[in-house]
Structure 1
Amino acid sequence: MDAYFATQKPSDRALLDRLRAVVLKALPDAQPALKWGAPFYLVNGKNITSMAAFKEHVSINFFAPPEVLIDPTGRLEGEGKGNRALKVRAAADIDPVAITRWLKAAVAASG
């Protein structure tokens, strides 16, 4: 997993490192895994979150039905029934309180 982070451009790496720190603090027992070329974090064998770098942003995904991912500011994006994503373009986009809430909701929804 460290190899994925090491290969990212410095600006993306900084954002990914901050996101990873939030995930590890919120879910200290999560199991890291590299799936489909991206870092995932699992709890009890179920995907809870993943993150990846893209051309103009990094993204953190939350694997839960949208109705449990309380998002009063409308920052989460996606159309599927089982996940939503937060696009991060700058450190200011990383709200540890909201991300922790979404991570805990994803764990609860995973059964």
Structure 2
Amino acid sequence: MAGRTSKKSVRAAKKAAAKRGAAKAVEPRKTAPASPSRTKPVLLTGGNPQIAKADGDAPVQAYIAAMPGWKSNVGRRLDALIVRTVPGVRKAVKWNSPFYGVEGKGWFLGVHCFTKYVKVAFFRGSSLRPVPPGPSKSKDTRYLDIYEDDELDEAQFAAWVKQASQLPGEWT
């Protein structure tokens, strides 16, 4: 019976292999954690990116890059318009939303992703002319909701941004 293996020895070999496999599964992985550039961003309710609270352009750009689908293009356009309209604009991510402000005056605008639209909050929007269309529970705040197929009136948006940046802001 040379070259043949008994059923008993085959079972013993399988059992030993299973034990070795189980032991390997229990061992902790020794690989380095994935770098942030390779990990998929965490999206909160409505597809809003979860980005750590931080000041500066880098966290705002991380938020924009993590915005899902068409919303990322909207985020890039809004950011570019704001930077062009308010040179030296101050940026930060707070409460999982990009904020734009003027040093010493506070925040004048915030952006937030929802399932079907991107919401721009003008914190002193009731003082802008014309007043942005979206009402708020706050008497001062007004909103602009941007849906996927909307045409953004860049001239009007820039005019609102310019006006808003010249008013006292929120959360200094």
TM-score, normalising length: structure 1: 0.84
Unaligned runs of 5+ in 2: 1-58
Pair 1:60 & 2:152 matched? no
Following superposition, the deviation at residue 79 of structure 1 comes to 3.6
Deviations 1:27-47 (A, max 9, x none): 121111011111101102400
Following superposition, the deviation at residue 93 of structure 1 comes to 3.4
Please say if residues 41 and 50 of structure 1, whose CA atoms lie closer than 8 Å, have aligned partners that are also in contact. Answer: yes
Higher normalized strand content (fraction of residues): 1
> Partner of 1:82 in structure 2?
140
> Partner of 1:104 in structure 2?
162
Note the aligned Cα RMSD (angstroms).
2.0
The structure whose Rg is larger is: 2
Deviations 1:45-92 (A, max 9, x none): 4001111211010011112150x21127x6343242221110001364
Q: 3-state DSSP class of the match of 2:166?
A: helix
Number of residue pairs matched by the alignment: 109
Q: 3-state DSSP class of the match of 1:21?
A: helix
Please say if residues 58 and 89 of structure 1, whose CA atoms lie closer than 8 Å, have aligned partners that are also in contact. Answer: yes
- The ranges of structure 1 where at least 4 consecutive aligned residues each deviate by more than 6 angstroms after the TM superposition are none
Higher relative contact order at CA 8 Å, sep ≥6: structure 1 or structure 2? 1
Over the matched positions of the two proteins, sequence identity in percent amounts to 26
